[in-house]
Amino acid sequence: MDLLTISLLPFLGALALAIAGGSLPGGGSRRVHGAVAGAFAATALALVMLHAPAVLGGEVIAERHSWIPAIGLDASFFLDPLGLLFAGLILGIGVLVIAYATFYLSDEEDSGRFFAFLMLFQGAMLGIVLSDNILFMLVFWEMTSLSSFLLIGFWNHKPEGRQGARMALAVTGGGGLALIGGMVLLGNIAGTYDLTAILAQREVVQASPLYPVALVLILLGCFTKSAQFPFHFWLPHAMAAPTPVSAYLHSATMVKAGVFLMARLWPVLAGTDLWFYLVATTGLLTMLVGAAIALFKDDLKGLLAYSTVSHLGLLTMLLGFGTKMAAVVAVFHIVNHATFKAALFMNAGIVDHDAGTRDIRRLGGLIGLMPIAGISGTIAGLSMAGLPPFNGFISKEMMLEEAVHTAWAGVPWLLPALVTLGSLLSAAYSFRYVYGVYFGPRHDDYPKSPHDPGIGLWGPPGVLVALVVLIGLFPTTFAGSLVESVSRAVVQDTELPYYYLSLWHGFTLALLMSVIAVVGGAALLWRHGIAERVWQSLPVPVAKRLFDSGIAKLVAASRAFTEGVHTGSLPRTLFVFFLAALALGIEGMSAGSHAPGMRETIPASPVAIISWAILIAGAVAVVMSETRRFLSLIYISIIGLIVSLAFVFLSAPDLALTQISVEVVTILLLLLALNLLPKAPRSISSLPRRVRDGALASAIGGGVAWLAYAVMTRPANDPISSYHWEMSKPGGGGTNVVNVILVDFRGFDTFGEIIVLGIAAIGIYALLRTAVRGESGQRLLAWIPDQIRSPERHPMMLVVAGRLILPLALVVALYIFLRGHNLPGGGFIAGLVFSIALLIQYMASGFEWAEDRRRTERHALISWGVLIAAATGLGSLVFGKPFLTSAFDYFHLPLIGEIELATAMLFDIGVALTVVGAVMLALAQLSGAAQRAEKLEPSEHPMDIDPSRPKEQGT
């Protein structure tokens, strides 16, 4: 269970932070929230490190938990050296970023929300690198896109933050859809979705005719996530996020998810010409484009963002070479880049925090004013430039050596020349960062008085800078065994080509290329002004402008299509919908054979015939009273009552209780909604339209009746109901088969239903929230009802009766809830009963009176309901059982005797809370809209005017 625990810890941290919330005086909330997040991340890191000796020694730790085996989806985890490296980066740098963010964020920031989002992202990244099932991995992949969207848009009051978040989600989310297709194809080719099994089927996968399609789709997912050209533009705009987010997501974790996946799938996908030309070429172009743009960025985070794009291109290029040695170099540079780039992002945050600007044109000479930050930033910047004795120099030398031995399209000099150019540009923008911030001319107009911050800000990057130096000076000691073990895991081979990690590899062509890059970079910095004028004169397309233009065209095309299809007429839309349903039904019936059922029918009793006649009469009455809405509502309630009686007649008391409870709730809510509508509108449909709609309704009704008859007259051969009857008590611990099915046998269906119910309530909230504001709110204020309302809004008898009913209803709801597992009842019905009691309070005593006494947030009720139901299901995983497996036992209590307790009761509590929250949220929005229409004083309100008075007096 260790790997499952490690994967869950960040999510538990996010949940703890979300529950804690709130703020403490004096910045205390930042420290508390940071401590909570750091504790969970540090615990997960410690658990990972406990396995490090065994994993680096060649052991692979694996866990498997059954989830949805029918489609090959299992919660499978495995920890090998590659997973260990990335888990260490995610958690190790995560702990440092959490410490840094605790001191970086201001007291006014919502630190609880920030750290909750950060932990959510951390858990998603851990899930990616530890998953041993590619479908399971895809779940976490999409979670990274969603959680990074929340982090990038954390400062949602800034337009650039909102746009950056949307852009990142659009690009990475679109790539994620391609990745889903590619992974499903890969699993079908290999005949399994288990990652470890797929990695052993290189020949099978590459021989498949679907290999090119799967490869392109998978690479689209990797390229978009790792900001490869031409999808690179989203990463710099994600820099609108707070600096801790940039240091974490965009240097060490999220953007390396694509690189990780290419490395993980390297044994099965690499080695073909298609892989080489797609991956190596894309990586090389990204390296050059990112480096060129970075050189001319004046914002420090913008410069670092494009430098990240360039280095991600370098890693992609190395993996694209397809050789074992290139894979070794890629592994080493992953470690090096994470150390110096995360340190540089934090360093840029320190400069912005304590100098007041990130504009490199307004900075310079800070080495004397901020010596600690200056030393840290200089070391990390020189490592990024590839200068000795730092770690970036070693991996750069090894990369250049690999480029020397790689020919592109049969041209041996082209790739080395372009890689040297990329290294030259990299050295130039690195020198510009170091010189422009710390060693350039000192200014006297800094926005703030520059000074070194406390250890809380310079300590975390200081740890990374120390690693930059130590790995550079002693690479074998501090990185040798790690690089070797991870490289073997990447290439899936115990034999690696000979190499050694050292600052000195002799006088080689790679050394000459490195010298050219460093000297050329210094010269380019010296003539940066000339180079910038040349760059600005070039017709370089602006990626953001192209993206915005493309999105605008897509939106325009979508709007034109939508306006052509969806005219805003609900009757027309419903007619098309039901006509399509009828056509599909006819096609299905005509495509197969339908033998008549031989089951004997039961004679209808007089009571059943009378009830059926009342049902038909009610349906006809609803249609005939279309212009009298209140009367239509009465007829609808009659129909609901007859259906409830039918359930009773057919020995389905649970369904009858549910039906009658739902009927009462919906009728009360509809009455409230009806209050905002004209009571007697004009005729809704013309006669030809009624004939058309009637014909369609008759056809669909006849088809449904025929289908029901065909099903009910067929013999029941070994029905599933017999299993439920037999296993209800021994398997679920309850004699009420219906309730056991809902909370145990088919609990996953119920779980999905309460989620849909919560979404529906939130949808009502979002739709009606706008009804009281803007133009619609003004129309609501100007609305004059078409009927006179009673001057006595809240009759005393109804008020007193309603308040007496509340405690009684609560007891009844509790009784129905507790008996639900063995007798008709359960959480859903109990929630409805309690909701009815609350509805009565609002209707009897008024919205304001009830709202003043409400102590529970309705959104929270829905959230707690879903979370409790989910936690009940997840609890079974802890004991090695499938999701939502229930357990029960008997306990003896003093004075009470023996009682039965089942875990399904907790699930039922979640159902009840969700139902109450959904009903009350809908009630609140409808009541809010009604209140908006009653803002005038009673003596002035149009509804309270004597009809005998002149109209002018009433207005």
Q: How far apart are CA 827 and CA 914, in angstroms?
A: 10
Q: How far apart are CA 685 and CA 620, in angstroms?
A: 16
Distances in Å between the alpha carbon of 756 and those of 434, 658, 672, 679, 808?
54, 17, 23, 31, 30
913's tokens: 């809370």
Identity of the residue numbered 547: F
Q: How far apart are CA 937 and CA 950, in angstroms?
A: 19
Number of neighbouring beta carbons within 10 Å of residue 34: 23
Task: Say if CB 280 and CB 223 are below 8 A apart.
Answer: no
842's tokens: 């609002």
Instruction: Note the pLDDT of residue 945.
Output: 35
* Interval 554-588: pLDDT, tens: 889 988 888 877 777 777 888 888 899 989 888 88
Q: How far apart are CA 326 and CA 195, in angstroms?
A: 23
| Nearest alpha carbon to residue 152 among 90, 235, 92, 230 | 235
Q: Mean pLDDT across the stretch 802-824? A: 88
Asked whether residue 23 carries a pLDDT value surpassing 60, the answer given is: no
Asked whether residue 100 carries a pLDDT value surpassing 50, the answer given is: yes
Q: Mean pLDDT across the stretch 375-386? A: 93
* Interval 688-710: pLDDT, tens: 888 888 899 889 988 888 888 88
Q: How far apart are CA 670 and CA 389, in angstroms?
A: 75
Task: Say if CB 397 and CB 505 are below 8 A apart.
Answer: yes
Q: How far apart are CA 656 and CA 647, in angstroms?
A: 5
- The residue extents of the domains of the chain are 274-526, 530-563, 736-955
844's tokens: 């009897």
Q: How does strand 897-902 pair with strand 61-68?
A: unpaired
Distances in Å between the alpha carbon of 569 and those of 47, 565, 679, 684, 747?
59, 10, 21, 12, 38
Q: How far apart are CA 263 and CA 316, in angstroms?
A: 9
Rounding to the nearest 10 degrees, give the CA dihedral for residues 221, 224, 227, 229.
100
Asked whether residue 361 carries a pLDDT value surpassing 60, the answer given is: yes
Task: Say if CB 309 and CB 227 are below 8 A apart.
Answer: yes
Helical spans, DSSP H, in 57-110 = 81-104
* Interval 721-749: pLDDT, tens: 788 888 888 888 888 888 888 888 888 88
* Interval 143-189: pLDDT, tens: 999 988 988 888 888 888 888 888 888 899 899 999 999 999 999 99
Distances in Å between the alpha carbon of 180 and those of 139, 175, 376, 552?
10, 9, 41, 26
Asked whether residue 955 carries a pLDDT value surpassing 70, the answer given is: no
Q: How far apart are CA 632 and CA 205, in angstroms?
A: 63
| Nearest alpha carbon to residue 825 among 739, 705, 939 | 739
Three-state DSSP at 377 gives helix
| Nearest alpha carbon to residue 316 among 279, 270, 351, 359 | 279
Evaluate the omega torsion of the peptide bond into residue 730 and state whether it is cis, within 30 degrees of 0.
no
- b (16+ CB within 10 A) / e for 635-668: bbbbbbbbbbbbbeeeebebbbbbbbbbbbbbbb
Task: Say if CB 256 and CB 308 are below 8 A apart.
Answer: no
The percent of residues in the chain predicted with pLDDT above 70, rounded, is 92
Task: Say if CB 865 and CB 913 are below 8 A apart.
Answer: yes
Distances in Å between the alpha carbon of 481 and those of 58, 328, 755, 792?
11, 12, 48, 84
| Nearest alpha carbon to residue 352 among 157, 29, 106, 161 | 106
Mean pLDDT lowest among 194-203, 610-619, 671-680: 671-680
Instruction: Note the pLDDT of residue 26.
Output: 46
Evaluate the omega torsion of the peptide bond into residue 389 and state whether it is cis, within 30 degrees of 0.
yes
- What's 2-43 look like in SS3? HHHHHHHHHHHHHHHHHHHCCCCHHHHHHHHHHHHHHHHHHH
Task: Say if CB 914 and CB 754 are below 8 A apart.
Answer: yes
Task: Say if CB 938 and CB 872 are below 8 A apart.
Answer: no
455's tokens: 């250890």
Q: How far apart are CA 288 and CA 293, in angstroms?
A: 9
393's tokens: 């120099």
Instruction: Note the pLDDT of residue 684.
Output: 66
Q: How far apart are CA 873 and CA 748, in angstroms?
A: 9
Q: How far apart are CA 340 and CA 292, in angstroms?
A: 20
Identity of the residue numbered 334: I
Query: Kind and range of the H or E element at 228?
Result: none
9's tokens: 């810890």
* Summary mean pLDDT of the chain: 85
The confidence band for 940, taking pLDDT boundaries of 50, 70 and 90, is: very low
Length of the chain: 955
In the beta sheet, which residues pair with residue 937? none
| Nearest alpha carbon to residue 319 among 480, 198, 172, 490 | 490
Say how many Å lie between the first and final Cα of the chain, rounded: 72
Task: Tokens 């694509």: give the residue.
Answer: 258
- What's 434-447 look like in SS3? HHHHHHCCCCCCCC
Q: How far apart are CA 445 and CA 781, in angstroms?
A: 54
Residues 6+ apart with CB under 8 A from 90: 122, 125, 126, 129, 252, 253
| Nearest alpha carbon to residue 492 among 202, 220, 68, 70 | 202
Q: φ and ψ at 884, to 5 degrees?
A: 70, 20
The confidence band for 620, taking pLDDT boundaries of 50, 70 and 90, is: confident
Instruction: Note the pLDDT of residue 953.
Output: 34
Q: How many CA atoms lie within 13 A of 310 on its CB side?
A: 30
Number of neighbouring beta carbons within 10 Å of residue 401: 22
Q: How far apart are CA 397 and CA 475, in angstroms?
A: 13
Residues 6+ apart with CB under 8 A from 922: 669, 761, 764, 765
The dihedral built from the CA positions of residue 255, 260, 266 and 268, taken in this order, carries a sign that is negative
Number of neighbouring beta carbons within 10 Å of residue 323: 19
